[in-house]
Amino acid sequence: MLSDNQTRVEVSPGALNDQLGRPLRSLRVSVTDRCNLRCNYCMPEENYVWLPRQELLTFEEIARLVAVFTSLGVEDVRLTGGEPLLRRDLPKLVRMLAANPRIRDLALTTNGVLFAEQAEDLRAAGLHRVTLSLDTLRPERFLALAGRDAHAQVLEGIAVARRAGFTKTKLDTVVLRGVNDDELADLIEYGRGTEAEVRFIEYMDVGGATEWSIDKVFTRADMLDRLEKRYGKITPVEEISSAPAQRFTLPDGTVFGIIASTTTPFCRTCDRSRLTADGLWYLCLYAQAGVDLRRLLRAGAGMEELAARIASVWQRRTDRGAELRAATGHRGILVGIDQLRQDPHLEMHTRGG
Ligand code: SAM
């Protein structure tokens, strides 16, 4: 089902389109599978099978692959993880990517724990924007949700974003029924105070979410209902966008977003694909297999050969994983823990959220 205000993909003449007319435009690059939090909706286990270090792409390899993608039409590049700030010298990679004139939007998604100490370097290196994950304003709740006592560092990271000169900052909240669904208005107020746009994400049944159940999903309809009771009439923002969030306005003009991948998938406008830290390219967050670009790269493939491979795969793309999941009658977890142990690429933290 398409969301009300996102019925079309922007048509870009000459773009490399897949089978559903979706352009290759946005690339999420995971720079590490490791994370310093253990959010129970994403990485509930203490230990994981980590990607072997020698298989991780170097910064030069990442920049090279990104250059191939941008030569094919990618304009938006987002660094993610795992927790991307755990990757040593990340500003160096940012500087290399910022030198690519085809990148229109160079962004970072982080849990914020290490952001305060790196914000200025990242900004100076040419990072355009940052999205910080913030599920709660309550330290004790943070500890219970993320398994680490790092709430103060996250809030400091959010405060520093503005001081370091970042604008258009976003705060992403995964809303879990009975856990943090009572904080929606508080988070909106907090976002106002920090000049960041808050986006509420429905809990998704992706790999890694081994504790997922439909009962824990606080849906877009629930969120709008809750917020309307507090603020009055909420109006959808009319815009044509391939962004995952549908945006809404409160009566006082405050804008917030909802990413309703679970109940209202937006596959028909999805122009995103994902590169794991070890160079596997996934066309969908729900895909079970990826394309091994590291192997091609390390076998000596040149830019043209890589571009030809990527183009031919994208042109055949038919993925619409979230829609197919939504059509599943009895919905449960996507991948069990044993299967995740056998193939860590199925984990959300490996392919990047
Ligand atoms: N560590 C970084 C962070 O926390 O933002 C980047 C990686 S994290 C996998 C990216 C985003 O995915 C975060 O906002 C996280 O909350 C979200 N996420 C992880 N598991 C999810 C799930 N099961 N449902 C919805 N969002 C999820």
Mean pLDDT over 114-118 rounds to: 98
- Asked which of 43-47, 186-190, 266-270, 330-334 is least confident by mean pLDDT, the reply is 330-334
Note the pLDDT tens digit of each residue in 320-352.
Answer: 999 998 888 778 888 888 888 888 888 888 887
Calculate the average pLDDT of the chain. 93
Q: What is the pLDDT of residue 12?
A: 52
Beta carbon of 344 within 6 Å of any ligand 1 atom: no
Supply the residue whose CA is at minimum distance from atom 11 of ligand 1: 353
Question: How many angstroms is it from 116 CA to the middle of ligand 1?
Answer: 19
Split at pLDDT 50, 70, 90, the class of 269 is: very high
Q: What is the pLDDT of residue 245?
A: 92
333 or 90: which leads in pLDDT: 90
Nearest to 246 by CA among 231, 229, 263: 263
Please check the confidence at residue 281 and state whether its pLDDT lies above 60. Answer: yes
State the residue for tokens 């429905």.
202
What is the percent of the chain with per-residue pLDDT over 90, rounded to a whole number? 83
Q: What is the pLDDT of residue 14?
A: 67
Please check the confidence at residue 1 and state whether its pLDDT lies above 50. Answer: no
Q: What is the pLDDT of residue 6?
A: 36
Q: How far apart are CA 129 and CA 258, in angstroms?
A: 19
Ligand 1, residues 114, 145, 153, 174: which to mutate, most atoms within 8 A of Cβ?
A: 174
State the residue for tokens 């937006």.
266
Give the containing element (helix H, strand E) for 5: none
Split at pLDDT 50, 70, 90, the class of 5 is: very low
Supply the residue whose CA is at minimum distance from atom 5 of ligand 1: 110
Mean pLDDT over 202-211 rounds to: 90
Give the containing element (helix H, strand E) for 194: helix 184-194
Please check the confidence at residue 211 and state whether its pLDDT lies above 80. Answer: yes
Which atom number of ligand 1 is nearest to the Cα of residue 172?
14
Beta carbon of 70 within 6 Å of any ligand 1 atom: no
**φ/ψ bin of 73: left (φ > 0), alpha (ψ from -120 to 50), beta (otherwise):** left
Beta carbon of 114 within 6 Å of any ligand 1 atom: no
Mean pLDDT over 159-178 rounds to: 97
The three-state secondary structure class of 343 is coil
pTM reported for the whole predicted model: 0.94
The CA-based diameter of the chain, rounded to the nearest angstrom, is: 60
- DSSP letters of 35-100? -S---TTT--SS---PPPGGGSPPHHHHHHHHHHHHHTT--EEEEESS-GGGSTTHHHHHHHHHT-
Beta carbon of 109 within 6 Å of any ligand 1 atom: yes
Q: What is the pLDDT of residue 303?
A: 96
Which atom number of ligand 1 is nearest to the Cα of residue 35?
1
Q: What is the pLDDT of residue 338?
A: 84
Note the pLDDT tens digit of each residue in 300-327.
Answer: 999 999 999 999 999 999 999 999 988 8
By DSSP bridging, strand 280-282 and strand 272-275 are: antiparallel
Please check the confidence at residue 4 and state whether its pLDDT lies above 60. Answer: no
Mean pLDDT over 263-284 rounds to: 95
Ligand 1, residues 35, 172, 181, 216: which to mutate, most atoms within 8 A of Cβ?
A: 172
Please check the confidence at residue 233 and state whether its pLDDT lies above 50. Answer: yes
Note the pLDDT tens digit of each residue in 18-52.
Answer: 999 999 999 999 999 999 999 999 999 999 999 99
